[in-house]
């Protein structure tokens, strides 16, 4: 079986800093895959490279049968990769509705309206706040907006970079419940998280990234049960 996403021996540098030192992994259709790792491990670099925002030094990325290794970001969105970036990055001076419509820039206007309505059913809170400036939303609401904006592109693969960062536990649980619902609609998910426990409970499989290299991989329940992973990432 061919994978939805396949990454082969990916190397990414910032000048002479080697952020990714030969990463190989795959994600199958309808899977949820978690990437765990400490601060500075290279998680965001991986996500930004998959989205076409960073060009790798070497290696190969194949998505849905296309070589996307050096493809531009907007073509990658059109192929079906949507990203909710670290730190949310909503447009603070635009309304919730305007932020969502901007997410749909690759699609015809009529379809954008339909997609926004779909996002409002997933996040009723965003519908209530649709006219409000995004900069005035709470952190949790901004995270919902960032995820919603990625969903407006109707992605086959949703990339989530630290959706729980800086949010209260109750909000985190709420967001993870929504991610379960999104997964149940058939969207494949690649999630990067420092909250390893929440991510592994959602995921089918996981990989652990340690300063630019993968150190562990396996079914999520095996990683959850591993004493080594527990000691390093699960606060045991
Ligand atoms: N724009 C950048 N310029 C130079 N170095 C960077 C840049 N972004 C990240 N790095 C470095 O690359 C490494 C990986 O960072 P990052 O991908 O942000 O890790 P993570 O998301 O796992 O915290 C770190 O050493 C970081 O300092
Ligand atoms: Mg990061």
pLDDT digits 0-9 by tens, 66-124: 999 999 999 999 999 999 999 889 999 999 999 999 888 788 888 898 899 999 999 99
CATH 3.40.50.150 holds for 5-233: no
Average pLDDT over residues 10-16: 96
Say yes or no: CB of residue 14 within 6 Å of ligand 1.
yes
Judge whether residue 54 has pLDDT over 80: yes
Tell how far the Cα of 1 is from the centroid of ligand 1, in angstroms. Answer: 33
CA distance 64 to 201: 26
pLDDT in tens, 184-221: 999 999 999 988 999 999 999 999 999 999 999 999 99
For residue 106, the model assigns a pLDDT of 80
% of the chain beyond a pLDDT of 70: 99
Q: Provide the residue ranges of all domains of the chain, joining segments of one domain with +.
A: 5-233
Average pLDDT over residues 34-55: 96
Say yes or no: CB of residue 190 within 6 Å of ligand 1.
no
For residue 2, the model assigns a pLDDT of 87
Judge whether residue 1 has pLDDT over 70: no
Q: List C-alpha distances in Å: 118 to 31, 109, 186, 189, 194.
A: 22, 14, 14, 18, 29
On average, the pLDDT of the chain sits at: 94
Sequence-ordered list of residues with C-beta below 8 angstroms from that of 93, at least 6 positions apart, any chain: 133, 134, 135
For residue 236, the model assigns a pLDDT of 57
Tell how far the Cα of 51 is from the centroid of ligand 1, in angstroms. Answer: 16
> To test the ligand 1 pocket, which listed residue (11, 45, 162, 164) has its Cβ within 8 A of the most ligand atoms?
45
> To test the ligand 1 pocket, which listed residue (35, 40, 233) has its Cβ within 8 A of the most ligand atoms?
40
> To test the ligand 1 pocket, which listed residue (13, 17, 87) has its Cβ within 8 A of the most ligand atoms?
17
Phi and psi dihedrals of 160, rounded to 5? -120, 120
């Amino acid at each position: 079986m061919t994978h939805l996403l396949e990454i082969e021996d990916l190397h990414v540098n910032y000048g002479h800093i080697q952020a990714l030192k030969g990463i190989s992994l795959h994600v199958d259709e309808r899977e949820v895959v978690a990437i765990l790792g400490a601060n500075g491990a290279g998680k965001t670099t991986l996500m930004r490279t998959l989205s076409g925002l960073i060009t790798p030094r070497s290696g190969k990325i194949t998505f849905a049968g296309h070589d996307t290794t050096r493809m531009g970001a907007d073509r990658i969105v059109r192929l079906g990769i949507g990203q909710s970036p670290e730190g949310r990055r909503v447009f603070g001076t635009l309304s919730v509705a305007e932020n969502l419509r901007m997410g749909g820039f690759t699609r015809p206007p009529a379809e954008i309206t339909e997609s926004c309505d779909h996002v409002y059913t997933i996040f009723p809170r965003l519908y209530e706040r649709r006219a409000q400036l995004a900069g005035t939303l709470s952190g949790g609401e901004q995270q919902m907006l960032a995820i919603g904006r990625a969903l407006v592109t109707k992605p086959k693969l949703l990339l989530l970079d630290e959706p729980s960062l800086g949010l209260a536990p109750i909000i985190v649980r709420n967001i993870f419940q929504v991610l379960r619902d999104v997964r149940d609609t058939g969207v494949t998910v690649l999630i990067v998280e420092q909250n390893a426990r929440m991510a592994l409970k959602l995921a089918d499989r996981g990989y652990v990234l340690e300063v630019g290299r993968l150190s562990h991989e396996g079914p999520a329940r095996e990683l959850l049960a591993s004493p080594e992973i527990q000691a390093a990432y699960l606060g045991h």
